[in-house]
Structure 1
Amino acid sequence: MTKSRDERAWWQSAVIYEIAPISFQDSNGDGKGDLAGLMSRLDYLGWLGIDAVWLTPIYRSPFRDLGYDISDYCSIDPGFGTLDEFDRLVSALHAEGIRLILDLVPNHTADDHAWFVESSSSRHSAKSDWYIWADPGENGGPPNNWLSRFGGSAWEWCDARRQYYYHSFLVEQPDLNWRNPDVRAAIADVMHFWLDRGVDGFRVDASAVLIKDDLLRDNPPNPQAKDKPPPQRHTSVFTDDRPETMSCIEFIREVIDGYPDRLLCGEVQGKTDRIGHFYGNDRPRLHLPLNFALLDSQWDALSLQATIDAYLNAIPKDAWPVWVIGGHDKQRIASKIGAAQMRVLAMLLMTLRGTPFFFMGDEIGRKRVPIPADRIRDPFEKLVPGYELCRDPERAPMRWDDSESGGFTTGGPWLPLGPGDAPNVAQQRRDEHSILALFRALIALRREHACLREGSHAPLRSQNDVLVFKRVTHTGEVLVALNIAAEPRRWHWHGRGRLLMSTHLDRPREPLPDASILLRGNEGVIIELARR
């Protein structure tokens, strides 16, 4: 929930940047990014102007699923570095005025985690009930029809216990039993471990699936399953977004509220009309349930207008909005809308009311990187082929320059970087009109202009391919007009105004002669209205 204007939380005015460390910067030539490499790029983060970074998992892991299969929650995987290096990274980020958010993965562990090794050893072990176990069904097979997101039954047989365990994801990722208070206490200890080291918050992975139906009722058929991947042939009524899950999130929030100024954001599930309950009512839940509506929207002015309106009307009255345009498991939106409209999206992201999140590479207009079949690492593509579920094209290493290794590594990169003429940071830093320059300028303008940080959202009628809205505070108003078409559009408004920025970065800040402007194709503008 939001605070008063004089007590605003830091994350309400922050710009948050997601980094997959394995693909950000390699320091030792093994082709995989690490903490030392990330440390070497702090000047870039400071130059760009972001306020916080969210790191995908860096814990000890066999890394079958980008580190979301955790073997030890309280250690750094040796491939990334050491706890000492992590502590130095936290200090260095804080010295730059940048906060650090870690991924919290409370739904499942790796199957080589000590908790699961003990739980699977016997029905009488001390941690016997730490995971979800069930006897075989009447036919001797799995207990019910629940499916894994990675294909096939979500139940795996364990000889030692003569039972099945449940896994929402990979068979090597057994689900923890959040009905067990000892599991909750153990996750709280994990949070304390990192919060005491200075971490500024967590992004909760798979927060909507922490509780499953205790009666193990079968999921019903999905009437829209045609042409969808096999794991989607059932509607996940009894495995996803159960009402009891909210108590789990409330528990996690209680832990983080024991520390001042910490953020809890989370991966949530369902359509826009379901996102509101993740904020909580009498008992707070997530500060920021991550909202991917812009990624899912049709890309035209009327659809975007409806998408924005539906989301803002779906969240609680005093909740703070959040907008996400990329991520480690979301397809690059630049491949969907093209380079020209990616600039328009950047302006939209930075001018909507709420906290903006973007993924490393979005700021240079990165598109999906082609991955040859023999280089694929993503288990989604290996286990559920043929449905374009592969996430490797998004996870390809950051291209810092146009060299063969992209400035990312001196060795062979763990995933291909893509063609040498693809967008890269060095080239775009030299170009004062690049999309990287636009991201930086927009972030700076947000910091400068109170309307863009905290103003209310006032929708206007979008017509003729131009998406329009206003941001308003008690001291001023800002208009935003975004041409979603490739052809010019004339746009009119009421009152006198001063141009603050164009997505083309080639219009000066100056008063406009009248209440209209000719928007070029794929151009957005921000206009400060004169006070009446």
Structure 2
Amino acid sequence: MTKMDPKLKAASAADKDWWRGAVIYQIYPRSFQDSNGDGVGDLLGIVSRIPYIASLGVDAIWISPFFTSPMKDFGYDVSDYCDVDPMFGQLSDFDALIEAAHERGLKVMIDLVLSHTSDQHPWFQESRASRDNDKADWYVWADPKPDGTPPNNWLSIFGGPAWHWDARREQYYLHNFLVSQPDLNFHNMEVQDALLDVTRFWLDRGVDGFRLDTINFYFADKELRDNPALPPEKRNATIAPSVNPYNHQEHLYSKNQPENLAFLKSYRALLDEYPATTSVGEVGDAQRGLELLGEYTAGDDHVHMCYAFEFLSAEKLTASRVVETMTRLDAAAPDGWACWAFSNHDVIRHTTRWNLTPAAHRCYTTMMIALRGSLCLYQGEELGLPEADVAFEDLQDPYGIEFWPEFKGRDGCRTPMVWEPSNQNGGFSAAQPWLPVSHDHVMRSVETQEHDPAAPLHHYRRALAFRRTHPALVKGSHANLMAQGDVLSFTRSYKGQTIFCAFNLSDTPSTLDMPAGNWVAIGTELGSTGAASDGRLHLGPWQPCFALQR
């Protein structure tokens, strides 16, 4: 097992709050880099690209699941939490990845899926064997109603009831996702202990933190009460809101249970045994996302940070929406910490979702690095990649296959990373990739953009460098949040440094008054402009302003 360099470990421990304001680069390992020519990305492929990731100026990487799995949901259905699926390599490859990342000053976070396992996990195989074995109560089992139907009205995110009949036990088991993803029973303390042991296994291998998948799904209501209906006007889910009946319910009982807070305290206590480790929880709830974020990050004894889906939705991110979201967050989580993302492996890439021009894409990137919170960037985002168009016959995602064509699934954001334009696979693999590479993406490859100073890749590097050199943008508070038409403005402050930030989120010029005080323009490398002699700020289309208070 690779041990962290003592100097790096000491430096790490010196700033236990490195995560606060950190920029985290998400890697979807199937699609990042194939090192062995089988058409699927792997851990050694990631190792080979660590220099590139470090060149972006990010602080950490988050690797989506690479554990042993039948891959019904591409790794989010785990059959062995403590091993690497042969598709991605072996444990020694992961150790090499840790070493390579730490040598470049990058933290390593991994994606832990604790709410459910694969139905091929040994725990479930034992649990379903009988009603009286040692793990009989490790999953959520329930008797049918007298008429044989499921115990309640809960629905699966992937369509249909959230219950599946098992002939061995003559009971139903709960699956919030695929039928092959049974939900663990967190009311059983042995289950909690087993999952804490899994976490310790990876901490002992040198992992710096965890992205906790579906963190608000851990507990289900003990009484298995029916969820109430959700009025049509409140159906605002991020993924497939109109075609999925899951969005017709208010999920009061199938998730978001109060018992979750006690488990998160146990989880944090374990992390606190390892200096400078962190956690970010995915809060999957369209109605209560910010409220749960506040509960789960309150104080210093829950998870360190969470992200909700406000900035991952299809609704375009306007100045007023940013102010509304940040204001709601301040009320819900006054001492909590958010982690923001515009794109990830579950949603349409934001350049397509919001129909962004190159200038708009640059402005949103610049705005993102100024927001209070930590940031997640999704692989290929720095290249300005649009959503790929994947034909039905090439689809792999069960979600898309189920709801096609009204919802095409998540494959369009999961196609392989494009490194160079020498072949049709963009340098990802010498073999046929598991998903086709978009021709449009190949024209936007890393190598192509390296030689173009105006390319999105260089703007991301400049933006991240600018953020890193201004502590107020990394760890500071925010104030004076305002939306004046299409212009968003606020201040960020930290240890005597105050920066005024403004962004014209439109393609028409705007003018506003600078706040009182002595301000010096900064950020010209990002297209920032300063105030005129009369104190008025004139912003061109999609233009930012950064000013430092003297």
Identify the TM-score tier after normalising by the shorter chain. Answer: over 0.9
Q: Answer with 349-358 or 48-57: which moved more.
A: 349-358
The aligned counterpart of 1:295 is 312
SS state at 2:462 partner: helix
Counterpart position of 1:239: 254
Distance 2:280 2:205 in 1: 19
- How far apart, in 2, do the equivalents of 1:321 and 1:145 lie? 32
| 8 Å contact from structure 1 (residues 154, 169) kept in 2 | yes
Correspondence for 1:258: 273
**Aligned twin of 1:209:** 217
How far residue 464 of structure 1 moved from its aligned partner, in angstroms, is 3.7
Distance 2:156 2:485 in 1: 45
Q: Report the Cα distance in structure 2 between the residues aligned to 1:118 and 1:98, rounded to whole angstroms.
A: 39
Aligned counterpart for 1:521 among listed residues 522, 541, 545 = 541
1:465 to 486, 499, 510: 486
Q: Following the alignment from structure 1 to structure 2, what is the Cα–Cα distance between the partners of residues 236 and 219? A: 6
Task: Out of 264-273 and 239-248, give the one that drifted further.
Answer: 264-273
Separation of aligned partners in 2, 1:29 and 1:424: 19
Structure-1 residue corresponding to 2:20: 12
Contact 1:229/1:387 (8 A) holds in 2: no
- The question of 1:310 aligning with 2:331 is answered no
User: 2:21–2:372: 8 Å Cα contact kept in structure 1?
Assistant: no
Check if 1:125 corresponds to 2:125.
no
Q: Distance in 1 between matches of 2:390 and 2:444?
A: 17
Superposition pairs for residues 15-414 of structure 1, below 5 Å?
A: 15-224=23-232, 227-268=242-283, 269=285, 270-281=288-299, 284-296=301-313, 298-316=316-334, 318-337=335-354, 338-339=356-357, 340-388=359-407, 390-402=409-421, 403-414=423-434
CA deviations 1:368-400 (Å, max 9, x no partner) are: 110100011111112233442611111111112
Within 1, Cα distance between the matches of 2:498 and 2:249?
A: 48
Alignment partner of 1:351: what SS? coil
SS at match of 1:190: helix
Counterpart Cα distance in 1 of 2:141 and 2:481: 54
> Whole-Å Cα distance in 2 between the matches of residues 475 and 159 of structure 1?
66
AA aligned opposite 1:501: G
Following superposition, the deviation at residue 8 of structure 1 comes to 5.9
Rounded to whole Å, the distance in 2 between the matches of 1:309 and 1:335 is 27
Question: Whole-Å Cα distance in 2 between the matches of residues 387 and 10 of structure 1?
Answer: 42
Bigger drift between 81-90 and 398-407 goes to 398-407
Deviations 1:220-274 (A, max 9, x none): 2222269441222332221010112222222222222221111011111333234
Q: Distance in 2 between matches of 1:408 and 1:398?
A: 6
CA distance in 1, matches of 2:181, 2:130: 19
Aligned residue in 2 for 1:480: 501
Letter in 2 for 1:259: Y
Change in 2 beyond 3 A, CA 1:514/1:46:
farther
Partner AA of 1:304 in structure 2? V
Task: Spell out, residue by residue over 1:152-182, the C-alpha distance to the aligned partner (whole angstroms, 9 max, x if none).
Answer: 1111111221211111110000111111111
**Identical amino acids, percent of aligned pairs:** 38
Q: Which moved more, 1:45-54 or 1:516-525?
A: 516-525
Residue identity matched to 1:458: A
Find the aligned partners of 2:143 and 2:377 in 1 and give their Cα distance.
44
SS of residue matched to 2:473:
helix
The Cα offsets for residues 423-478 of structure 1, whole Å up to 9 and x where unpaired, read as: 22222222222221111111111221122222221225332421111112343321
Q: Counterpart amino acid of 1:285? A: H
Counterpart AA for 2:308: N
CA contact (8 A) 2:387 2:413 kept: yes
Alpha carbons 1:166, 1:174 under 8 Å: kept: yes
Q: Which moved more, 1:322-331 or 1:76-85?
A: 322-331
* CA displacement at 1:347 relative to structure 2: 1.0
Moved more, 32-41 or 511-520: 511-520
How far off is 1:14 after superposition? Answer: 1.7
Q: Please, which moves more after superposition, 11-20 or 268-277?
A: 268-277
Query: Any conservation in 2 of the 1:264–1:288 contact (CA below 8 Å)?
Result: yes
- Specify the code of the residue in structure 2 equivalent to 1:404: Q
How many residues are paired up? 521
What is the aligned partner in structure 2 of residue 437 from structure 1?
458
Structure 1 pair 217/464, CA: closer, same or farther in 2 (3 Å)? closer
Q: How far apart are the structure 1 equivalents of 2:500 and 2:438? A: 38
3-state SS of the aligned residue for 2:111?
strand
Q: What SS does the aligned partner of 1:462 have?
A: strand
Contact 2:243 2:407 in 1 (8 A): no
| Contact 1:71–1:113 (CA under 8 A) maintained in structure 2 | yes
Cα deviations across residues 23-65 of structure 1 (Å, max 9, x unaligned)?
Answer: 1111112111101111110110111111100110000011111
Alignment check: 8 A CA contact 1:370 1:418 kept: yes
SS in 2 for 1:11: coil
Q: 2:468 is matched with which residue?
A: 447
Q: CA deviation at 1:519?
A: 2.1
CA distance in 2, matches of 1:140, 1:177: 22
Q: Distance in 2 between matches of 1:49 and 1:418?
A: 27
How far apart are 1:207 and its partner, in Å? 1.0
Distance (Å, rounded) in 1 between the aligned partners of 2:408 and 2:362: 26
Residues 207 and 249, structure 1, Cα contact 8 Å, conserved in 2: no
CA 373–258 in structure 1, closer or farther in 2 if over 3 Å, else same = same
After TM superposition, give the deviation of residue 294 of structure 1 in Å. 2.5
TM-score by length of 1: 0.93
Taking the aligned partners of 1:507 and 1:190, their CA distance within structure 2 comes to 47
Residues 95 and 385 (structure 1), Cα distance of their counterparts in 2 relative to 1, 3 Å cut: same
The Cα offsets for residues 273-319 of structure 1, whole Å up to 9 and x where unpaired, read as 342111135x7211101133223354322232222222233213x32
Rounded to whole Å, the distance in 1 between the matches of 2:323 and 2:521 is: 23
User: Partners in 2 of 1:162 and 1:501 — Cα distance?
Assistant: 65
Runs of 4+ in 1 over 6 A off after TM superposition: none
Structure 2, unmatched stretches of 5+, are 1-13, 236-240
**SS in structure 1 at match of 2:30:** helix
Q: Which residue of 2 is the match for residue 490 of structure 1?
A: 511
1:109 Cα deviation from its structure 2 partner:
0.6
Paired position in structure 2 for 1:3: none
Cα distance in 2 for residues equivalent to 1:25 and 1:199: 21
SS, match of residue 482 in structure 1 = strand
